[in-house]
């Protein structure tokens, strides 16, 4: 009998464990998870903090008990793996006591950790990150307290507060990525005065400039103070944070959320001789196997091949973790399975707008991969012009001038007007290497309540093709 | 100087005329249109009848004056072309007087006409079809009159009327295709008691059975009486229609809409020696050229190649007309351009649900094209399970067992939950010949407000792939 050991019990780890055990019930499957929660939807945490989701338990798709009892997986929560010995084929985990567990096959799915920016004051009370379930619980407690406890409210009402009856805050958000944007919505919805600080010249920098601009404008309309090109130098205060300090001055705050990205957790992998790629994440082949035989890596700790550039990239997102975990599970069960590449696809909702991006949008990245990128952005109606309601879909497309190959796209619309689901067309195009000419001839669905006769995606392809 | 003559001034014709003239301003472009209106969105007519669109003019994307004055096109409305002489390269049109017009290149874009089913009583007052702008005007007048004129209301309240305060009707709809469904919504929204009669066992028969069933159930919830397997034998009455007669009996009605499909208008083409295909529509090559040199055909009068079967099909829909018209325009202007195939993609909204279909779903059609079709339908949540609101997306996929190639798909969801825009992923898959395994590895956009981690499309691909 063979033993499959998994380090880390979130999306990649539990997908692999479940699939391997289902496809090969004779397998012994052991999962070590450092924390208490497994298989949880971290992407839902901002909505829990916002108050739209009532319980943290709602974010758990399968409970520990279900994994143990229904799926027959030896799941050991509160067990942190502290080392891997690839020669002996064992891992050592520390829980109530220390466990040495032998493996035949091993999956490293240790995830990622929030990046700590190099600024002073991160250790003050009132400074949060949002990566784990306990982070979510802490933030929800803070928000609930503020709504009920008058003492936390700042007497000096800021610019957003003038529009709100019972204003909370002010609060600072460091970083204009997904977490920063989603938390701006969550906090503003709870009547906080929100100040967002972004080091670079635009938020959501992996999206197109046109998308970033649209979302930035929308945040401003929602009374979020967006400070671009503003490097945070420190978080001032005493025991509790009191201000965000930048070159431009001090912004008084009673709380700060730091959302400056994540980095892969690779310590124990590196110590065991598992090779990292240039991105700093664990390198793995198409089957997610590392340089060590029978040792796999998947999820937010690992690289994946980009479908456009063919190069290894680091895009730590939920679907890839699930997909690659599942593929490893099949492989372990005797059915070698590729997990597929990544297109760098991502989606975000910000208040009443939605956006998605996929593929290669950055000019330098495209040129490095041997392309000569051209880009165009168009605005079109989201439904037939004469059809009630609706809004605008803004589409940015990037393609290779010579071949016409679609390299990437970025879309933004009002929430519900389909920027995100329409991006599905572009994911296929970048994955299959489709040209603008061919894409613009796609027979996409049309009816007046859903689009103009030429869906915005088709119009963008047609217009950019005309520029070649 | 060369002359390009177009017969028919709707989507295909005006797209071709506009593109040819824009790309080659030296060209003489003459368009004959039998009616008064050009370049109008017939797809919007049900929403005009419903009352959501205020004026017929709103459906016109470019007016006759704009074509004439801004685009320099010699547009002759109210001119019906009665013959083509391919030897002399002339067409003869009848307006106030008869015109003989020479052409160097000709586009036949005569569109389609409503099919008249072989039943008695179609000529009674109160029997309508919905194809042209004047049909739309007549129906809108009928609806407006009923809402204001008590005399039209039937005293005997039917099953739907018991739920409505000021019930109009009852009315009958013959045919459960797009027009029938959209008009059921339009009439029910105006408080008519609606009885829909469908000859076959399900409505929307080009969609998957699971989609048809979902929409049928929804229509019933909206108090539309859906009569399946019910052939209409006649429309009884005096001068005015009074009842729909079927094998099962008589349903009293004060109005009937007949929506039993369209057939291509090919009379003058056939007489001129232009070949029709097996479908009865005009045959054309990839550049839309017919058997006669320099004579093109595009839009609802013509066939197009199916991207899955490679065979000529007849799918008269707006996007294809626009796209093929535009391609002909480019070709005429000296830049030979393929219009691309059709995937048979279609979308429909019915009250509060939306649906789309693409590719080959019918088992016999798939087998005739050499495939061994397998099909699966799944229901999944439209957003993350823990995210507020949302609904269900039902996806049917059909694929070839041996190769795994995706042949077709059909989706249905609540309106706004993305069945239609999600179908964009499947259009790409059927067009590019993507396999289930590859599709299930697509890096589609994910965030909790938009889907589950695996978008319903991915889950469907994964499940069907597991059945091979």
Q: With helix as H, strand as E and coil as C, how does chain B read?
A: CCEEEEECCCHHHHHHHHHHHHHCCCCEEEEECCCCCCCECHHHHHHHHHCCCCCHHHHECCCHHHHHHCCCCEEECCCEEEEEECCCCEEEEECCCEEEEECCEEEECCCEEECCCCCECCCCECEECCCCHHHHHHHHHHHHHHHHCHHHCCCCCCCCHHHCCCCEEEEEEECCCHHHHHHHHHHHHCCEEEEEECCCCCCCCCCCHHHHHHHHHHHHHCCCEEECCCCEEEEEECCEEEEEEECCEEEECCEEEECCCEEECCHHHHHCCCCECCCCCECCCCCCECCCCCEEECCCCECEEECCCCCEECCCCHHHHHHHHHHHHHHHCCCCCCCCCECCCEEEEECCEEEEEEECCCHHHHHHCCCCEEEEEEEEECCCCCCCCCCEEEEEEEEECCCCEEEEEEEEEECCCCHHHHHHHHHHHHHHCCEHHHHHCCCCCCCCCCCCCCCHHHHHHHHHHHCC
**Closest chain A C-alpha to B126 CA, distance in angstroms:** 27
Size of interface A-B (CB pairs under 8 A): 219
Chain B residues touching A446 at Cβ < 8 A: 43, 317-319, 345, 347
The answer to whether the CB atoms of B443 and A342 lie below 8 A apart is yes
Chain B residues touching A320 at Cβ < 8 A: 443
Chain B residues touching A288 at Cβ < 8 A: none
Comparing CA positions, the residue from A251, A18, A235, A47 lying closest to residue A128 is A235
Is it the case that residue A162 has pLDDT exceeding 90? no
Would you say the C-alpha torsion B34, B39, B43, B47 has a positive or negative sign?
A: negative
Supply the pLDDT for residue B395.
Answer: 98
Instruction: State the Cα–Cα distance between residues B102 and B2, nearest whole angstrom.
Output: 10
Contact (Cβ atoms closer than 8 angstroms) between residue B196 and residue B225: yes
What mean pLDDT, rounded, does chain A reach? Answer: 95
How many other β-carbons are positioned within 10 Å of the β-carbon of residue B466? 10
Chain A residue with the nearest C-alpha to that of B323? A441
A465–B contact, CB cutoff 8 A: no
The answer to whether the CB atoms of A386 and B323 lie below 8 A apart is no
Contact (Cβ atoms closer than 8 angstroms) between residue B153 and residue B170: no
Supply the pLDDT for residue B335.
Answer: 97
The residue assigned the tokens 């689009």 is A451
Kindly state the percentage of chain A with pLDDT values over 90. 93
Kindly state the percentage of chain A with pLDDT values over 70. 96
**Closest chain A C-alpha to B363 CA, distance in angstroms:** 21
Which CATH number, 3.50.50.60, 1.10.260.40, 3.40.50.2300, 3.90.1150.10, labels domain B3-40+59-111+263-332?
A: 3.50.50.60
Supply the pLDDT for residue A166.
Answer: 62
**Closest chain B C-alpha to A9 CA, distance in angstroms:** 17
Question: Closest to B442 (Cβ–Cβ): which among A427, A445, A449?
Answer: A427
Q: Which residues of A196-223 are buried (b: 16+ CB within 10 A; e: fewer)?
A: bbbbeebbbbbbbbbbbbbbbebbeebb
How many other β-carbons are positioned within 10 Å of the β-carbon of residue B282? 29
Is there a cis peptide before residue B171, judged by omega within 30 degrees of 0?
Answer: no
Which is it for strands A255-258 and A168-174: parallel, antiparallel or unpaired?
parallel
Supply the pLDDT for residue B149.
Answer: 53
Question: Closest to A445 (Cβ–Cβ): which among B387, B420, B443?
Answer: B420
**Closest chain B C-alpha to A392 CA, distance in angstroms:** 15
Q: Taking the domains of chain A in order of start, what are their residue ranges?
A: 3-35+77-112+262-332, 127-258, 353-466
Record the tokens describing residue A53, joined without a space: 């989701």
Confidence band (pLDDT; 50, 70, 90) for A167?
A: confident
Top-confidence residue, A40 or B325 = B325
Supply the pLDDT for residue A147.
Answer: 63
Is it the case that residue A270 has pLDDT exceeding 90? yes
Is it the case that residue B298 has pLDDT exceeding 60? yes
Is it the case that residue B306 has pLDDT exceeding 90? yes
Instruction: State the Cα–Cα distance between residues B317 and B315, nearest whole angstrom.
Output: 6
Query: Per this entry, what is the length of chain B?
Result: 468
Chain B residue with the nearest C-alpha to that of A456? B421
| Residues 75-134 (A) with a CB less than 8 A from some CB of B | none
The answer to whether the CB atoms of A319 and B453 lie below 8 A apart is yes
Rounded to an integer, the average pLDDT of A105-130 is 96
Supply the pLDDT for residue A146.
Answer: 75
Supply the pLDDT for residue A252.
Answer: 95
Chain A residues touching B10 at Cβ < 8 A: none
Record the tokens describing residue A61, joined without a space: 């798709």
Q: Is B247 exposed, middle or buried (0-12, 13-18, 19+ CB in 10 A)?
A: exposed
Cα dihedral B175, B177, B178, B179, rounded to 10, equals -10
Same fold yes or no, B3-40+59-111+263-332 and B127-258: yes
Sheet of B346-350: strand order equals B346-350, B353-359, B406-414, B392-400, B373-381
| Residues 234-273 (A) with a CB less than 8 A from some CB of B | none
Q: Which value does ipTM take for this structure?
A: 0.96
The answer to whether the CB atoms of B41 and A358 lie below 8 A apart is no
Reduce the DSSP state of residue A225 to 3 states and report it: strand
**Residues of B annotated as catalytic (active site), given as ranges:** 43
Instruction: State the Cα–Cα distance between residues A221 and B354, nearest whole angstrom.
Output: 31
H/E stretch holding A74 = strand A74-76
Instruction: State the Cα–Cα distance between residues B429 and B446, nearest whole angstrom.
Output: 19
Record the tokens describing residue A432, joined without a space: 């299959």
Confidence band (pLDDT; 50, 70, 90) for B153?
A: very low
Question: Closest to A386 (Cβ–Cβ): which among B59, B356, B454?
Answer: B59
The answer to whether the CB atoms of A453 and B53 lie below 8 A apart is no
How many other β-carbons are positioned within 10 Å of the β-carbon of residue B368? 12
How many other β-carbons are positioned within 10 Å of the β-carbon of residue B57? 12
The answer to whether the CB atoms of A387 and B52 lie below 8 A apart is yes
Chain A residues touching B61 at Cβ < 8 A: 385
B411–A contact, CB cutoff 8 A: no
A52–B contact, CB cutoff 8 A: yes
Segment A349-389, tens digit of pLDDT: 999 999 999 999 999 999 999 999 999 999 999 999 999 99
The answer to whether the CB atoms of B343 and A53 lie below 8 A apart is no
The answer to whether the CB atoms of B354 and A424 lie below 8 A apart is no
Segment B7-58, tens digit of pLDDT: 999 999 999 999 999 999 999 999 999 999 999 989 999 999 999 999 999 9
Q: DSSP string of A107-130? A: EE---EEE---S-BTTTSBTEE--
Chain A residues touching B421 at Cβ < 8 A: 418, 421-422, 424, 445, 450
Which is it for strands A105-108 and A3-7: parallel, antiparallel or unpaired?
parallel
CATH 3.40.309.10 fits A127-258, yes or no: no
Beta bridge partners of A393: A380
A283–B contact, CB cutoff 8 A: no
Reduce the DSSP state of residue A439 to 3 states and report it: helix
What mean pLDDT, rounded, does chain B reach? Answer: 95
The answer to whether the CB atoms of B422 and A421 lie below 8 A apart is yes
Rounded to an integer, the average pLDDT of B423-447 is 98
Specify whether A167 is catalytic: no
Comparing CA positions, the residue from A285, A305, A307 lying closest to residue A297 is A285
Q: Is A394 exposed, middle or buried (0-12, 13-18, 19+ CB in 10 A)?
A: buried
A10–B contact, CB cutoff 8 A: no
Sheet of A392-400: strand order equals A346-350, A353-359, A406-414, A392-400, A373-381
Beta bridge partners of B361: none
Which CATH number, 3.50.30.30, 2.40.50.140, 3.30.390.30, 3.40.30.10, labels domain A353-466?
A: 3.30.390.30
A358–B contact, CB cutoff 8 A: yes
CATH class of domain segment(s) A3-35+77-112+262-332: alpha beta
**Closest chain A C-alpha to B290 CA, distance in angstroms:** 20
Segment B180-197, tens digit of pLDDT: 999 999 999 999 999 999
Name the pTM for this structure: 0.95
Query: Per this entry, what is the length of chain A?
Result: 468
The answer to whether the CB atoms of A448 and B41 lie below 8 A apart is yes
The answer to whether the CB atoms of A418 and B415 lie below 8 A apart is no
Chain B residues touching A346 at Cβ < 8 A: 445, 447
Q: Which of B18, B140, B389, B445 to mutate against chain A (most A CBs within 10 Å)? A: B445
Half-sphere exposure of A462 (CA within 13 A, CB side): 18
Reduce the DSSP state of residue A320 to 3 states and report it: helix
Confidence band (pLDDT; 50, 70, 90) for A158?
A: low
How many other β-carbons are positioned within 10 Å of the β-carbon of residue A366? 23
Task: Give, to the nearest 10 degrees, the angle between helix B456-466 and helix B419-432.
Answer: 50
Supply the pLDDT for residue A168.
Answer: 81
């Amino acid at each position: 009998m063979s033993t499959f050991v998994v380090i880390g019990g979130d999306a990649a780890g539990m997908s692999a464990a479940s699939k391997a055990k289902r496809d090969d019930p004779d397998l012994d499957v052991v999962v070590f998870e450092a924390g208490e929660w497994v298989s949880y939807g971290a992407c839902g945490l901002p909505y829990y903090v916002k108050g739209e989701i009532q319980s943290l338990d709602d974010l758990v798709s399968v409970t520990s008990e279900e994994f143990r009892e229904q799926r027959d997986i030896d799941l050991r929560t509160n067990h942190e793996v502290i080392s891997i010995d690839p020669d002996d084929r064992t891992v050592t985990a520390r829980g109530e006591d220390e466990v040495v567990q032998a493996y035949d096959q091993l999956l490293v799915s240790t995830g990622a950790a929030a990046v700590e920016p190099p600024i002073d004051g991160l250790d003050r009370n009132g400074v949060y990150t949002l990566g784990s379930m306990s982070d979510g619980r802490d933030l929800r407690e803070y928000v609930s307290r503020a709504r009920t406890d008058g003492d936390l409210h700042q007497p000096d009402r800021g610019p957003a507060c003038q529009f709100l009856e019972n204003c909370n805050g002010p609060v600072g958000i460091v970083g204009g990525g997904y977490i920063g944007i989603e938390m701006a919505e969550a906090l503003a919805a709870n009547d906080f005065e929100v100040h967002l600080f972004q080091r670079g010249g635009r938020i959501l920098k992996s999206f197109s400039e046109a998308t970033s601009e649209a979302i930035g404008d929308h945040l401003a309309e929602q009374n979020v103070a967006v400070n671009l090109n503003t490097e945070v130098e420190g978080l001032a205060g005493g025991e509790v944070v009191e201000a965000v300090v930048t070159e431009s001055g001090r912004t008084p705050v009673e709380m700060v959320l730091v959302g400056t990205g994540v980095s892969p957790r690779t310590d124990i992998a590196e110590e065991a001789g598992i090779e990292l790629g240039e991105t700093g994440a664990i390198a793995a082949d198409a089957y997610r196997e590392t340089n060590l035989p029978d040792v796999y890596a998947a999820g937010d700790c690992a690289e994946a091949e980009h479908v456009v550039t063919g190069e290894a990239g680091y895009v730590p997102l939920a679907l890839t973790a699930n997909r690659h975990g599942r593929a490893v599970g099949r492989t372990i069960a005797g059915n070698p399975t590729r997990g597929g590449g990544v297109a760098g696809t991502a989606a975000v909702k910000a208040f009443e707008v939605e956006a998605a991006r996929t593929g290669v949008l950055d000019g330098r990245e495209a040129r490095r991969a041997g392309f000569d990128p051209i880009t165009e952005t168009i605005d079109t109606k989201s439904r037939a012009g004469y059809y009630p309601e609706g809004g605008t879909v803004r589409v940015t497309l990037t393609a290779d001038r010579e071949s016409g190959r679609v390299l990437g796209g970025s879309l933004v619309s009002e929430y519900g007007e389909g920027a995100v689901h329409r991006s599905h067309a572009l994911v296929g195009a970048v994955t299959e290497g489709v040209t603008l000419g061919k894409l613009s001839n796609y027979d996409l669905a049309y009816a007046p309540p859903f689009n103009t006769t030429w869906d915005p995606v088709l119009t963008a392809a047609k217009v950019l093709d005309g520029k070649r």
